[in-house]
Amino acid sequence: MDYLLTEEQIMIRDLARQIAEEKIVPVRAELDETGTFPHDIMKTLAQSDLFGLFIPEEYGGLGKGCLELAIAVEELSRACLGVSTTYAANALGTYPLLLFGSDEQKKRYLPDIAAGKKLVAFGLTEANAGSDAGGIQTTARLEGNEYVINGTKQWITNGGEAGIYTIIGITDRSKGPRGASAFVVEKGTPGFSFGKKENKMGIRASATTELIFDNCRVPKENIIGKEGMGFVVAMKTLDNSRTGVGSQGVGVAQGAFEEAVKFARQRVQFGHPVITFQAVQHMLADMGTSIEAARALVYAVSRFIDAGAKDVSKESAMAKVFATDVAMRVTTDAVQVMGGSGYMKEYPVEKMMRDAKILQIYEGTNQIQRNVIGQALIKEAAKANK
Ligand code: COS
């Protein structure tokens, strides 16, 4: 379908696609097998200015929006979700600074992020605070001119690899979620270390670690926004980034779909290529249709955000839940269309199916997304009744 992309957006798509095909496809199986972080690919993305896409020009970026980011993420995801997770988590970690950072913080951090010199990670999740994001235990206590941070963050994408971390800690426990605050912490700060690297089912090229804060002192200027705004910083960050997870879903589904079509044209059974059988055609028809619907929703919500919409919780949750459920279904069906071959590591779809699963879990499970949508519908209905 023609999404009426501008010439610039088409250029971004083509550039990301070229990098994906030339640099990612040849190594994705090995990165997956060995769980190796894609340093060289990150360098290529940096040299191509793709880290600066969504960062304002005044801070060294290209000043583009959510749609351009979605287009780039989709293309990288079409090749390898492990690589695209590393890239997309960088945007997730940067949003707190972009949305709530002071001009000073932006000047200090954004140019290096835009240049790809430093990766970013976002630290909200903890052992006992996943879906229940308000339940975090990490504390940040003000002592003189410094905050002293204590606690452990869990399952943090880009942990250990990133130079900059935006994290949420409790500054006033008595206030519940309103007692949380956001901070920026640099790698190398005394008292800040990393736990074990997780051994994951999928997205194995991406790094996932604990962040351990043991009396880690940061200047009080490292607070993002004001004390007590941490929960809102986290939620608004996720509101912006969840469409990006949707675009990961579109990309991996597209990659798996193309593999399934290619295979079905070549594989002969009962004297005919299996694509000539209606049973296979119907599966492919459903896969292609749902990918197009997911892409249309992700692009529409991205454009809505880029147009300056203020409250996008419901729409971004819709894009995330729809496109990632499509990704799981399509990658599973791609394995099915390819039968025994699809199940073997010789073909990329078994990896795509393993990779796709995380999309229904991270940045808020798909059950949480449905809660967010449900709460928004209740609010809208109450408003309409007034
Ligand atoms: N934007 C601004 N404020 C928001 C918000 C949003 N999108 N969502 C919630 N808030 C505010 C609420 O208005 C409320 O503020 P007040 O106490 O001032 O009224 C506060 O935050 C708490 O909201 P709520 O009562 O809805 O919180 P719950 O404890 O019920 O938890 C959340 C609901 C939103 C935390 C849950 O649905 C969620 O998103 N969980 C998933 C978290 C996640 O994505 N984890 C992945 C980690 S990062 S990869």
Residues 302 and 348 in one domain: yes
Beta carbon of 312 within 6 Å of any ligand 1 atom: no
Round to whole Å and give the CA distance between 172 and 191.
Answer: 21
For residue 254, tell me if it sits in a domain.
yes
Q: Which of the listed residues 171, 201, 228 is the one where a domain comes to its end?
A: 228
Residues 51 and 181 in one domain: no
pLDDT in tens, the chain (386 residues): 899 999 999 999 999 999 999 999 999 999 999 999 999 999 999 999 999 999 999 999 999 999 999 999 999 999 999 999 999 999 999 999 999 999 999 999 999 999 999 999 999 999 999 999 999 999 999 999 999 999 999 999 999 999 999 999 999 999 988 999 999 999 999 999 999 999 999 999 999 999 999 999 999 999 999 999 999 999 999 999 999 999 999 999 999 999 999 999 999 999 999 999 999 999 999 999 999 999 999 999 999 999 999 899 999 999 999 999 999 999 999 999 999 999 999 999 999 999 999 999 999 999 999 999 999 999 999 999 87
Instruction: Give the chain's count of helices (H) and strands (E).
Output: 11, 10
Round to whole Å and give the CA distance between 286 and 280.
Answer: 10
* Residue ranges making up the domain that contains 76: 7-114
Other Cβ atoms less than 10 A from the Cβ of 272: the count is: 10
Residues 207 and 264 in one domain: no
Backbone angles phi, psi at 182, to 5 degrees: -105, 145
Residues 343 and 243 in one domain: yes
Q: Which of the listed residues 187, 211, 228 is the one where a domain comes to its end?
A: 228
Residues 161 and 222 in one domain: yes
| pLDDT at residue 177, as a whole number | 86
| Residue 376 alpha carbon to ligand 1 centre in Å | 12
| Residue 132 alpha carbon to ligand 1 centre in Å | 8
Q: Which of the listed residues 114, 137, 170 is the one where a domain comes to its end?
A: 114
CATH number for the domain that contains residue 97: 1.10.540.10
Residues 6+ apart with CB under 8 A from 280: 264, 274, 337
- Three-point CA angle 12, 333, 33, nearest 5°: 65
Residues 222 and 235 in one domain: no
* Catalytic annotation, pick one of 210, 227, 315, 363: 363
For residue 2, tell me if it sits in a domain.
no
| pLDDT at residue 176, as a whole number | 86
Residue 310 is classified by DSSP as S
Residues 343 and 273 in one domain: yes
- Atom number, ligand 1, closest to the C-alpha of residue 362: 49
C-alpha distances (whole Å) from 17 to each of 10, 113, 305 are 10, 22, 24
Catalytic residue at 363?
yes
Residues 24 and 92 in one domain: yes
| pLDDT at residue 307, as a whole number | 97
| pLDDT at residue 154, as a whole number | 98
Q: Model's pTM, two decimal places?
A: 0.97
| pLDDT at residue 333, as a whole number | 98
- Atom number, ligand 1, closest to the C-alpha of residue 134: 29
Beta carbon of 371 within 6 Å of any ligand 1 atom: yes
Residues 86 and 194 in one domain: no
Domain count, the chain: 3
